[in-house]
């Protein structure tokens, strides 16, 4: 076998080592290649590395096997690099360049300048364990240095910190955080109110939990006029990473007086570090947060599904806003069993330790990258809901996980498997945004490739008129979010569109817009499209509604943008969920124009109820159809709670033989219900199998569903209809085509039972 490296090619500019030759491997044996590298003084640390082994047939040249991974190398110096995993006080550090040093000095303090409560240890080896019980969330800081290194006093490492958390209890939920692998039970104290109308008497109660890892004490007793407390104990032994959730139910005189979800979140070790070029199967959630809000904190709950058929490991990296993602951030490694979904609730706080204390400035805001490390499969799915809450309930927005291959870029493919983005369009479009007395909009940008990017942000009105154009620039891996009014001076946009271009030769960019109701502060996320990649004659917007009842009301506004180069004549047809169809008079939409249809069902079709709206053109066109379905607030006049619904072309749906669709982050409980919508896209019938997967099970419950041509069906409270119980958390729905020539799309609407705020969850 012949080996050579980049020292033979000094002008190449890239470092590499390569061995090539003919060999054989016996069954069960392994091939190992060891590379020693010496970095220059300007090299980053950690140093991003890529390694691959390719096995080919010596006669045909066909590739028989491939193994590759992205990793980082640590460049040693006299300064150790310290780390402390979330949820633990186990401090570890890297060795120093002086190999004779095997003892280090470790300092702990409760202040970042090490002026208070300092504990100093002299430790042989590269780790030590501290232990402090706490009654309130407490931050501990650590630094490490060698007594001497290469004849001089060793410098201190960068300061690292850990927040030791106490259980969090709100009106509807309770959460305790422990390190993964822990076997120590954790207790949560939960307040139980006196039943309404019984304040003058002690009343009997019984308390029960529905998961084997939860117990409650006392399980019965009396509730005095001022209420009482019970203690829920969670045993984390053998539980998987993420939030494991059950329900506490307290009953008095045959009626429920308290129903609360109770979670024990097992968090994996977190270390500081940047990120480089991701593999092509990486996913990016553009924004996650834990930050103060007017009535409660904003937080992000993430779901991660491994549908690869084998256990998979993921590097999950958080990059704070306005930082260079190759040099800053936090990273954790999470293993997910085959065909399982894990819940990473309040991920910025529980996993990355930001926003735990009440001190000013303790918050986290940035982007999240999910990078498979041991598989090239694209069968990884992720989603996020960012929300806040008031005394009545929660309101929030679904944030889609964006595949790295969907980022806009001018860069070319990196020539190794999984190495980078394909050649895609360099323009993103976001519509149905506003900056007005009723709504405000925040625009977010994320660079994903680890290379700097720059371009323009163009703001248009619905007629296609350019209102303003501004330049932007992004550091490698950077996340930015800015307000249209405060940062871009766009102050009077009743309804419009934003266009983001990538003009630089490097970098890959995605974007999102968070449109916030000024009265209710309910946000909805608008995700981007690349109009140059759209070519279809049919566009379907499901979930359009117009009805009012004693308990709720829903209405829909719709926008249609012509991203092509010529005017297009469009026919709109409404397909109600109860059957039939209503067509509107055809209309023409100019290039660059957005047609606005507020209250679309009565305005365009003189109709009500709910269903799909289908737009057709006689020849291929580049239309972008989006909708917003919302309810008018009962207690905040003029305010709304809503969800953004993107249109779907037939090519974006599934047909016979296509991989199934996945819908994540569903729940059926006292707090939420989940409805699933299904629509046929081509005008041909199709048969579906709908399966529900819940945590801790390997077997899915399934039902058949037939769709006629163009039919729209909504299955209300789908998890309840499957008979999965009164309380189901972190469920996943799988939709696949079993027969028929039609194509289908699917989505879920997760509705807060108290605020009626809907969150639209598209199928992936």
Other Cβ atoms closer than 10 A to 582: 16
Model confidence over 369-425: pLDDT tens digits?
999 998 889 999 999 999 988 777 888 899 989 999 999 998 864 434 444 444 456
CA distances from 3 to 69, 71, 643, 703, 729 (A): 20, 21, 57, 57, 53
Q: Are 244 and 261 in contact (CB under 8 A)?
A: no
Instruction: List the structure tokens of 716.
Output: 């209300």
Instruction: List the structure tokens of 283.
Output: 């996913």
Domains in the chain: ranges and CATH:
2-73 (no CATH), 82-164 (2.60.40), 168-266 (2.60.40.3170), 285-336+348-353+365-528 (2.60.290.11), 534-652 (2.60.290.11), 653-764 (2.60.290.11)
pLDDT at 47: 62
Tell me the HSE value of 457 on the side-chain side, using a 13 A CA sphere.
27
Instruction: List the structure tokens of 536.
Output: 């279809």
List all residues 6 or more positions away from 388 whose beta carbon is below 8 Å from its beta carbon.
293, 294, 295, 296, 297, 298, 299, 394, 395, 396, 521
Could you give the 3-state DSSP secondary structure of residue 604? helix
Max CA-CA distance within the chain?
89
pLDDT at 415: 39
More confident residue, 63 or 631: 631
The region of weakest confidence among 62-66, 147-151, 167-171, 253-257 is 62-66
pLDDT at 381: 97
pLDDT at 416: 41
Q: How far apart are CA 93 and CA 38, in angstroms?
A: 20
Reported confidence tier of residue 295, pLDDT bands at 50, 70, 90: low
Tell me the HSE value of 340 on the side-chain side, using a 13 A CA sphere.
19
Model confidence over 84-136: pLDDT tens digits?
866 567 898 989 989 899 999 999 999 999 999 999 999 999 999 888 877 78
Res 471 pLDDT > 70: yes
Res 545 pLDDT > 90: yes
Instruction: List the structure tokens of 273.
Output: 């570090």
Reported confidence tier of residue 45, pLDDT bands at 50, 70, 90: low
Tell me the HSE value of 140 on the side-chain side, using a 13 A CA sphere.
26
Mean pLDDT across the chain, nearest whole number? Answer: 89
Q: How far apart are CA 267 and CA 562, in angstroms?
A: 46
pLDDT at 106: 96
Q: Are 430 and 527 in contact (CB under 8 A)?
A: yes
Other Cβ atoms closer than 10 A to 50: 16
Other Cβ atoms closer than 10 A to 69: 16
Q: How far apart are CA 108 and CA 91, in angstroms?
A: 10
Q: Length of the chain, please?
A: 764
Q: How far apart are CA 75 and CA 353, in angstroms?
A: 27
Model confidence over 654-713: pLDDT tens digits?
999 999 999 999 999 999 999 999 999 999 999 999 999 998 776 789 999 999 999 999
pLDDT at 33: 66
Q: How far apart are CA 652 and CA 189, in angstroms?
A: 48
CA distances from 61 to 55, 156, 181, 408 (A): 9, 53, 45, 34
Q: What value does the mean pLDDT take over residues 234-256?
A: 93
The region of weakest confidence among 290-299, 464-473, 690-699 is 290-299
Res 37 pLDDT > 70: no
- Of 661, 694, 760, 764, the closest CA to residue 385 belongs to 760
Instruction: List the structure tokens of 469.
Output: 């154009």
- Of 619, 552, 595, the closest CA to residue 756 belongs to 552
Res 628 pLDDT > 70: yes
Reported confidence tier of residue 165, pLDDT bands at 50, 70, 90: confident
Q: Are 38 and 45 in contact (CB under 8 A)?
A: no
pLDDT > 70 fraction of the chain, expressed in percent and rounded: 90
Q: What value does the mean pLDDT take over residues 173-180?
A: 87
pLDDT > 90 fraction of the chain, expressed in percent and rounded: 64
Q: How far apart are CA 54 and CA 32, in angstroms?
A: 12
pLDDT at 423: 46
pLDDT at 43: 55
pLDDT at 172: 78
Q: Are 666 and 674 in contact (CB under 8 A)?
A: yes
Reported confidence tier of residue 265, pLDDT bands at 50, 70, 90: very high
pLDDT at 11: 63
Q: Are 710 and 581 in contact (CB under 8 A)?
A: yes
CB environment 311-329: b (16+ within 10 A), e (fewer): ebebbbbbbbbebbbbbbb
3-state SS string for 64-115: EEEEEEEEEECCCCCCCCEECCCCCCEEEECCCCCCCCCEEEEEEECCCCCC
Q: What value does the mean pLDDT take over residues 344-360?
A: 85
More confident residue, 593 or 60: 593
Model confidence over 123-159: pLDDT tens digits?
999 999 888 877 787 888 999 999 999 999 999 998 9
- Of 53, 55, 18, 14, the closest CA to residue 35 belongs to 18
Instruction: Give Cα 351 to chain centroid, integer Å.
Output: 14
The residues that bridge with 644 in the sheet, in sequence order, are 628
Q: What value does the mean pLDDT take over residues 650-655?
A: 97
CA distances from 42 to 38, 39, 274, 575 (A): 12, 8, 16, 63
Global pTM value? 0.86
């Amino acid at each position: 076998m012949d080996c050579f490296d980049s020292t033979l090619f000094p002008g190449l500019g890239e470092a590499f080592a390569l061995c090539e030759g003919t060999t054989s491997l016996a069954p069960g044996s392994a091939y190992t290649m060891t590379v020693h590298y010496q970095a220059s003084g300007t090299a980053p640390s950690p140093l991003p590395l890529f390694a691959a082994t390719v096995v080919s047939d010596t006669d045909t040249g066909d590739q028989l096997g491939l193994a590759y991974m992205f990793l980082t190398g640590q460049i040693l110096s006299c300064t150790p690099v310290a780390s402390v995993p979330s949820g633990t006080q186990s401090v570890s550090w890297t060795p120093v360049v002086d190999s004779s040093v095997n003892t280090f000095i470790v300092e702990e303090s409760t202040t970042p300048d090490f002026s208070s409560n300092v504990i100093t240890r002299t430790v042989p080896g590269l780790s030590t364990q501290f232990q402090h019980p706490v009654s309130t969330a407490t931050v501990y800081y650590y630094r490490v240095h060698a007594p001497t290194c290469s004849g001089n006093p060793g410098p201190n490492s960068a300061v690292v910190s850990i927040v030791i958390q106490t259980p969090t209890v709100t009106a509807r939920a309770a959460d305790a955080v422990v390190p993964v692998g822990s076997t120590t039970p954790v207790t949560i104290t939960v307040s139980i109110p006196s039943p309404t109308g019984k304040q003058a008497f002690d009343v009997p109660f019984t308390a029960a939990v529905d998961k084997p890892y939860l117990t409650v004490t006392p399980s019965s007793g009396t509730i005095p006029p001022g209420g009482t407390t019970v203690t829920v104990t969670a045993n984390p032994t053998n539980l998987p990473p993420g939030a494991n959730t059950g329900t506490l139910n307290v009953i008095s005189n045959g009626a429920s007086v308290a129903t609360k979800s109770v979670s024990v979140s097992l968090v994996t070790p977190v270390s500081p570090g940047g990120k480089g070029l991701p593999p092509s199967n990486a996913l990016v959630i553009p924004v996650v947060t834990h930050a103060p809000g007017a009535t409660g904190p904003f937080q992000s709950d993430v779901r991660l599904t491994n549908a690869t058929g084998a256990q998979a490991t993921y590097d999950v990296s958080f990059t704070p806003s306005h930082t260079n993602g190759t040099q800053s951030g936090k990273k954790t490694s999470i293993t997910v069993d085959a065909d399982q979904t894990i819940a990473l609730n309040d991920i910025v706080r529980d996993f990355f330790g930001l926003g735990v204390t009440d001190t000013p400035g303790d918050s986290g805001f940035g982007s999240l990258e999910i990078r498979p490390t041991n598989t090239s499969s694209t069968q990884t799915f992720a989603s996020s809901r960012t929300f806040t809450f008031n005394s009545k309930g929660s309101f929030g927005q679904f944030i889609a996980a964006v595949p790295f291959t969907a980022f806009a870029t001018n860069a070319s493919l990196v020539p190794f498997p999984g190495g980078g983005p394909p050649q895609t369009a360099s323009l993103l479009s976001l519509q149905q945004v506003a900056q007005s007395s009723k709504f405000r909009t925040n625009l977010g940008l994320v660079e994903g490739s680890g290379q700097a990017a720059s371009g323009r942000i163009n703001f248009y009105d619905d007629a296609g008129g350019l209102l303003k154009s501004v330049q932007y620039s992004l550091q490698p891996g950077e996340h930015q979010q800015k307000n249209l009014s405060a940062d871009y001076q766009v102050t009077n946009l009743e309804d419009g569109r934003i266009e983001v271009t990538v003009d630089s030769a490097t970098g890959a960019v995605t974007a999102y817009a968070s449109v916030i109701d000024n009265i209710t502060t309910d946000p909805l996320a608008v995700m981007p499209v690349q109009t140059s990649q759209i070519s279809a004659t049919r566009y379907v917007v499901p979930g359009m509604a117009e009805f009012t009842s004693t308990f709720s009301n829903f209405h829909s506004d719709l926008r249609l943008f012509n991203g092509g180069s010529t005017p297009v004549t469009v026919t709109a047809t409404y397909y109600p969920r109860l059957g039939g169809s209503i067509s509107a008079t055809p209309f023409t939409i100019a290039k660059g124009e957005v047609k606005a249809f507020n209250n679309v069902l009565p305005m365009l079709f003189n109709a009500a109820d709910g269903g799909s709206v289908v737009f057709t053109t006689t020849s291929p066109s580049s239309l972008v159809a989006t909708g917003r379905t919302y309810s008018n607030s009962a207690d905040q006049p003029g305010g709304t709670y809503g969800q953004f619904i993107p249109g779907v072309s037939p090519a974006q749906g599934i047909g016979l033989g296509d991989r199934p669709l996945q819908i994540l982050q569903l729940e059926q409980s006292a707090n939420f219900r989940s409805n699933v919508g299904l629509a046929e896209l081509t005008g041909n019938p199709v048969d579906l199998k709908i399966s529900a997967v819940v945590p801790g099970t390997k077997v899915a419950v399934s039902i058949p569903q037939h769709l006629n041509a163009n039919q729209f069906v909504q299955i209300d409270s789908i998890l309840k209809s499957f008979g999965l119980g009164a309380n189901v958390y972190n469920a996943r729905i799988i939709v696949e085509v079993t027969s028929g020539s039609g194509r289908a799309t699917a989505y879920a609407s997760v509705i807060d039972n108290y605020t009626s705020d809907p969150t639209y969850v598209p199928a992936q």
